[in-house]
């Protein structure tokens, strides 16, 4: 799975991201790859980079991990101002034949400037 960060529709290199499932955790710097052999629950991707708001994307895995939906994450910025991020799965429409394909092959995390 390719993890990418963007800001104002431009690729943002060097964001530090944590990718988590129910039983595993990976650290990656954008753009970067994470190998998830078996899907296990919701997929959380949290990215941080100096000068940008921390952003989170969550793909909710329904019972049976058949077809996750796009999740929206929010984070606090300086001065109590919140920010919203949205994750987009590439290769649409997504096809899910089993647990190993329950997550998208590409995750975009939109990061706003702080």
pLDDT of residue 112: 94
Q: Say how far apart CA 102 and CA 94 lie, in whole Å.
A: 9
Calculate Rg over the CA atoms of the chain: 14
pLDDT of residue 70: 45
Q: Which residues of the chain have pLDDT under 70?
A: 62-101
> Which tens digits make up the pLDDT trace of 15-47?
999 999 999 999 999 999 999 888 889 999 999
| Residues facing 57 on adjacent strands | 45
What is the CA 25 to chain-centroid distance, rounded? Answer: 13
Predicted pLDDT of residue 30:
97
Q: Which domains does the chain have, with CATH numbers?
A: 1-64+101-113 (2.60.40.1120)
What pTM, to 2 d.p., does this model score?
Answer: 0.68
CB 85 within 8 A of CB 75: yes
């Amino acid at each position: 799975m390719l993890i990418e960060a963007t800001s104002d529709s431009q690729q943002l290199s060097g964001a530090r991201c944590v990718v988590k499932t129910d039983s595993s955790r990976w650290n990656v710097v954008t753009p970067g790859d994470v190998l998830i052999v078996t899907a296990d629950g919701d997929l959380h991707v949290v990215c941080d980079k100096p000068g940008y708001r921390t952003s989170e994307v969550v793909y909710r895995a329904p019972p049976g991990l058949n077809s996750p939906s796009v999740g929206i994450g929010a984070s606090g910025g300086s001065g109590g101002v919140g920010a919203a991020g949205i994750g987009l799965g590439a290769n649409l429409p997504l096809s899910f034949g089993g647990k190993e394909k329950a997550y998208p092959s590409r995750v975009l995390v939109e990061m706003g400037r702080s």
